[in-house]
Amino acid sequence: MRALIVAGAALLAIPAGSGEARTPAVVHQVTPKAFSYVPANLTGPAPLVVLLHGAGGDARNFLRQFERDADERGLILLSVQSAGRTWAQRKPTDEEKDVADIKAAIVALSSRSQVADGRTSVMGFSDGASYALSIGLAYPELFRAIVAFSPGYAFGPAELDTTQRIFIAHSRRDPVLPAANVRAMVKAFEEAGYVPEVNWFNGGHEIDPQLKKLAFDFALAP
């Protein structure tokens, strides 16, 4: 597949109690670059969604936008901070700092919380959406699904897993990353053999609330 380039974020997770009252969910810094959110009502292995913020964003603040979704759906969140102001704009490799930080955060969280096997997805916004696509495509064995809110580019690896599930939400009127970028990207995905779910909305460069709900449905589907 040709590289798809369309221009344009306490150390222990809360353990699930048996019969006793549980401590309310709080945010934990699991590595110097990552924060987790584990709902207090979890009683067993749960799906994990890795969150990637937009350019100039903050992992902790980005996490706050999804905590209610985690409570309602019974899933674990892990928000990772980019190594620079934004995510690396090249093909992800094991030597890349952003890749290493994301993998280290998943390992650290998994050692302290019960993450369901094979139920990890990656979800991002703007530059974080672009990197979610790139790292998700590069590591399909790690991410079962990719959710991209308003992406601008993606890099495709040499070897593809076209069974991987991809969800894209983008505004027809996005003033930052034009819709034409995504149309070209989707065409490239389809030509490579992927079947992305693409959802358009009328708005700005943002995460549409209704499509956010659909995105979680998509990420958590069996």
192, 161 Cβ separation under 8 angstroms: no
Burial degree of 179 (CB within 10 A; 0-12, 13-18, 19+) = middle
Exposure string over 182-209, b if 16+ CB within 10 A, otherwise e: beebbebbeeeebebebbbbebebbbbe
Return the pLDDT at 2.
Answer: 41
9, 79 Cβ separation under 8 angstroms: yes
34, 13 Cβ separation under 8 angstroms: no
Stated pTM of the model: 0.89
Can you name the residues that pair with 181 across neighbouring β-strands? none
What dihedral angle (degrees, nearest 10) is formed by the CA atoms of 216, 24, 32, 103?
Answer: -40
Burial degree of 20 (CB within 10 A; 0-12, 13-18, 19+) = exposed
- Average pLDDT of the residues in 68-92: 97
Which residue bears the tokens 């209704």?
A: 210
Chain segment 121-134, per-residue pLDDT in tens:
999 999 999 999 99
132, 156 Cβ separation under 8 angstroms: no
Q: Starting at the edge strand that comes first in sequence, how are the strands of the sheet with 46-52 ordered?
A: 27-31, 34-37, 76-80, 46-52, 115-125, 145-149, 165-171, 197-201
Chain segment 148-198, per-residue pLDDT in tens:
999 999 999 999 999 999 999 999 999 999 999 999 999 999 999 999 999
Can you name the residues that pair with 149 across neighbouring β-strands? 125, 169
